[in-house]
Structure 1
Amino acid sequence: MSKQDMSLWGDRVKLRLANLNVKAFGRVGVLLGGKSGEREISLMSGNGVLQALLSKGVDAHPFDPGVRNPTELTSENFDRVFISLHGRYGEDGTIQGLLDLLELPYTGSGVLASALSIDKIVTKQVWISNGLSTPKFEELTANSDWNAVVKNLGLPLIVKPANEGSSLGLTKVKSVEELPAAYQLVAGLDKKVIAEACIVGDELTCPLVGQWSSAEALPVIKIIPPQANYDFHNKYFSDETQYLCPTGLPSEVNEQVQELALAAYRALGCRTWGRADVMLDQKTGKPYLLEMNTSPGMTSHSLVPMAAKAAGVEYADLVLWLLSQTLQQKEGAPA
C-alpha cells in the first residue's frame, strides 16, 4: 500500500464510520479469554476491544468461553460478536462453527479459513500449492530421523507447535543434539510439531483488512526484538522490542511483501482482517511467509493497530470498523 493508498483506506474508514449508526449493531458480545495457551493475551486484547466499543456508544458485553459454557451465548441475546480469542478453540474454526449454527455474525474469518490458518503445516501446503514462498519444513514425530531433518532443513532451524501462536514453545535449534529436547518441549504443547528452515534477515509483519476478494494490505512493520529473539515476553511485555513503521526498507520491498501477504490471505479464504508474518532473507532479499493470524492481537503492543494508525485510523475507530464488517454478513452464512 503506497502512502496515497494508505491515506485513501483511512479516508474510507472515516467515511464509513461517519455514516454509521452504532445502534445498528444491537447487543454485541466480545469473546475473550478462552482456553488456549494464549488466554492471558486474549484477555488483554478483548478488554481493549470492549473499552473501545463502549467509548463509541456500542452496547458491548464481555463473554469468556473459558469460564462459561459457549452454549450460554444463546441466553445472552447478542446480535453479533467481536472475536478477541487467540489460538485453539477461538481461532481454529470451532467457535466460528458454533456462531454459524447460532446464526450470529462475527468478526474475522469463517470456519474453513480459520481451520486452515491455525495449522501451520496445512497453511504451508496451501501456500505451496499456490506457488507462494515459505521456508522448507517437516512435521516431526518421536520417530523422526534427527540427522535427516538437519540435512534437509539445515542449521539453525526452528521447532514450534503447528497449532499455537504468540511464539509459544518456539525453539531455535543450533545443533542436531538439541533437536530431541526441542521436540519434547513442543510436543508437550501440541500433538503436531513442525521444524522449519531458519531464514536469517528482517522480521516483518503485514496486516490485511477486508473480504478476501477485495482485501487490502496495511503498512508493513519491521520488528527488531532484543537479541533477535521475538519470543512471548518480547512480543507482549518488553519495551525493548522496536517496531518500525515505516520499515525503512525500499518501497519496492514493502510492496513485494504486501503483495505476498495479500496472496497468502486470499489463498486461505480469509475475511475481515488478518496478519501475515514474513521473513526477508538477508542474502537474497526474498520474502518468505511464516504464518497467517486470523484473530490478531489488540493489546498495547499489537501490530494491526500500529499499522492502522500509520494509515490514519486510531484504535477505537479500527475496532468499530472491524465490527462494521459484520453488517455485511448474512446471518448464519458460513464464509
Structure 2
Amino acid sequence: MNIAVIFGSRSVEHDVSITSAYGVMKGLEKMGTHTIFPIYISRSGKWIYDKNFINIETFAHYNDENYKDTSFEIDFSVSKKLCFSQKRKGLFTKKEKIEIDFVFPILHGMNGEDGSIQGIFDILQVPYMGPSVLGSALGMNKIVMKNVFKSLGLPITNYLIFDKNNYDATKVEILGFPIIVKPANLGSSIGISKVEKKEDLADAVELAFHYDQNIIIEVCVQNLVELNCAVSEKDNEVITSLVEQPVGASEFLSFEEKYVSNEGGTMQGVKNRVKIPAEISDELTKQIQNYSKIIYKEFFCHGGAPRIDYLYDKVNDKLYVNEINTIPGALQMHLWVKSMPISDFLSNLIKVGFEKAKDKEINIDFQSNIIGHTINFTK
C-alpha cells in the first residue's frame, strides 16, 4: 500500500510538524509492509515529494530554491486515491505521478489540523487518519472547544474571550491573578503566557494577539499537575492510553520545554520528561479516561488518536479539562507502547481510516425533474 505522510504547511507549528512526521514515518517504516511517501508542504505552500524527507537531517539546510522544479500538484480528476503530478518543467517533459492509497496528515495548527486539508481528502474520497472536517475544526478553536466542554458538563476553569476590538483589561482583572493568556487557534504552547500581576498583562495580551485575532484568558490552576490521556478506537470500541504526567521546569510546559532540550536539540514531544503512568490515584485515572472517551465521541474524532490535556489541583483535588489535540505530536505513540506494539497502533489507525471512508460513501444519485421544470419556467 502507498501511504503518504503529509507534514509542514503554512503554520507557526511548521517545525513541530516535521519532528512529528519523522517519528510517524519511522514507525511506518519499521512495519515493512507499506511504501512511504513523505510529502512536505513548505512555508510558502509548495507541495514537495522527496524520498529523502524521511530523514530529518534533510531539513537542517532546507531551501525552497533547491526544489523549485520538483513541486507537485494534486490531480482532482481522480477519486478514492490521492494523485500527485509533478509540475511540468518543459513542454515535452514527462510528468512523474504518485498514487496514494492512504494519508497520515501529520500537521499541527492552522492550514492542516483545522479541517482545511481534511476537506480536500473528503472531496476526493481519500481514506486518511484523524477526524474529518467537523472534528478537526472543533478541536482547533479553543473558544468553541471550551463552549462544547461546558455544554457537556465537563469541569473547566473560568475564562474570558476577546477579539482585538472588544478587549477590556478591567474585566480581566476581575478574574484575579495569576491567569493564562493564549491565542484561540494555536497549540504547542506558542503565544501562551502566565501572568502573575497586572503590570505584565499588556505584554501577554499583545503577544497572544500577534498570533490570532481572538484570545482566551483563563484562571491559572494552582498547585498544578498537568495530565494527558490519548484516545483511539479498536473493533468499534473507544479505548484510552495510560495517563501521563509531563514533568517540566515550570508550572506549565513552554514550547521550549516541549520540543527543545537544554542542548538545543529537538525532541519527540516530551517522552523523555514524563511519568507513565502518572503518579495519581486509580480513581482519578478512571475519571480522566472516562472524560477522554466522552470528548472523543462528542468531538467526532472517529478515525484518529487525539490527546486530551487536563489540569489538576493536587492540593484541592480538583480536575479540569484543558483542551483536545486532534493530531498530537508524533501521535503520542509513546503513550500506547504498553498497550500494544506501535505497528499494531498504526495498522489500526489505517484500518479505521478505511472504515471511516467507506461510511462516507452515501448515495448522491437522487433523480428529480427540477432542471426540466426550471428550463420550462425560463421559456
> TM-score range with shorter-chain normalisation?
0.7 to 0.9
- 1:44 equivalent in alignment to 2:76: no
2:223 aligned with 1:196, yes or no?
no
Runs of 4 or more above 6 Å deviation: none
What's the CA shift for 1:65? 2.9
In 2, the alpha carbon distance for the partners of 1:211 and 1:295 equals: 18
| SS of residue paired to 1:327 | helix
Q: Of 37, 42, 45, which residue of structure 2 is paired with 1:61?
A: 37
Select 2:110's aligned residue among 67, 88, 96: 88
What SS does the aligned partner of 2:336 have?
Answer: helix
Task: Give 2:298's match in structure 1, choosing from 242, 267, 270.
Answer: 267
Gaps of 5+ in 1: 1-25
Q: Match for 1:292: what amino acid?
A: I
Describe the SS at the equivalent of 1:228: coil
Letter in 1 for 2:313: D
On the 8 A contact 2:13/2:109 being kept in 1, the answer is yes
TM-score, structure 1 as length reference: 0.84
Larger radius of gyration: 2
How far apart are residue 317 of structure 1 and its match?
3.9
Deviation at 1:83?
Answer: 1.4
* Aligned twin of 2:338: 310
Q: CA deviation at 1:212?
A: 12
Q: Which residue of 2 aligns with 1:225?
A: 248
Alignment deviations for residues 295-317 of structure 1 (CA, whole Å, 9 cap, x no partner): 1111xxx7x22221232x34444
Gap change, CA 1:274 and 1:211, over 3 Å in 2: farther
Aligned-partner SS, 2:242: coil
CA distance in 2, matches of 1:309, 1:36: 29
Task: Kindly provide the amino acid, as one letter, of the partner of residue 333 in structure 2.
Answer: P
The residue type equivalent to 1:248 in the other structure is: E
Listed as ranges, the matches of 1:202-221 within 5 Å are 202-210=225-233, 214-221=237-244
Contact conserved, 1:103 with 1:332, CA < 8 A, in 2?
no
Q: In the TM superposition, what is the alpha-carbon distance from 1:54 to its structure 2 partner?
A: 2.4
SS state at 2:306 partner: strand
The answer to whether the 8 Å contact 2:226/2:252 transfers is no
State TM-score, norm by structure 2. Answer: 0.75
Of 237-246 and 258-267, the range deviating more from structure 2: 237-246
Q: Distance in 1 between matches of 2:239 and 2:218?
A: 28
Deviations 1:151-204 (A, max 9, x none): 1x2210001111110000110011222222111111111112111111122110
The separation in 2 between residues aligned to 1:211 and 1:132, in whole angstroms, is 25
Q: Please, which of 330, 340, 357 is the counterpart of residue 330 of structure 1?
A: 357
Structure 1 counterpart of 2:40, one-letter code: D
> 1:213·1:266 contact (CA, 8 Å) conserved in 2?
no
The share of aligned pairs that are identical, in percent, is 31
Q: 1:137 aligns with which of 133, 155, 159?
A: 159
Q: Which amino acid letter does the alignment assign opposite residue 186 of structure 1?
A: A
Q: Higher strand share goes to which structure?
A: 2
TM-superposed CA distance for 1:206, in Å, is 0.5
| Contact 1:161/1:194, CA 8 A, preserved across alignment | yes
Give, in angstroms, the shift of residue 207 of structure 1. 0.5
SS in structure 1 of the partner of residue 160 of structure 2:
strand
Query: Looking at both structures, which has the greater relative contact order when contacts are Cα pairs under 8 Å and sequence separation is at least 6?
Result: 1
CA separation of 1:199 and 1:154: change in aligned 2, threshold 3 A: same
Find the counterpart in structure 1 of residue 204 from structure 2: 182
2:260 equivalent to 1:237:
yes
Partner Cα separation in structure 2 for residue 32 and residue 129 of structure 1: 33
For 1:247, the equivalent position in structure 2 comes to 278
Number of matched pairs = 304
Partner Cα separation in structure 2 for residue 80 and residue 198 of structure 1: 41
1:224/1:269 CA distance change after superposition, 3 Å: same
Structure-2 change in CA distance of 1:203 and 1:286 (3 Å): same
Question: CA, structure 1 residues 322+285, in 2 after alignment: closer, same or farther (shift >3 Å)?
Answer: same
Q: Bigger shift: 161-170 or 205-214?
A: 205-214
- Cα RMSD after superposing both structures: 2.3
Deviations for 1:261-308, whole angstroms, at most 9, x for unmatched residues? 22222221212211000001224312111110111111xxx7x22221
Give the drift of 1:52: 2.1
Q: 1:70 to 1:127 in 2, by over 3 A?
A: farther
Does the 8 Å CA contact 2:11/2:108 hold for their aligned counterparts?
A: yes
Give the aligned residue type for 1:246. Answer: P
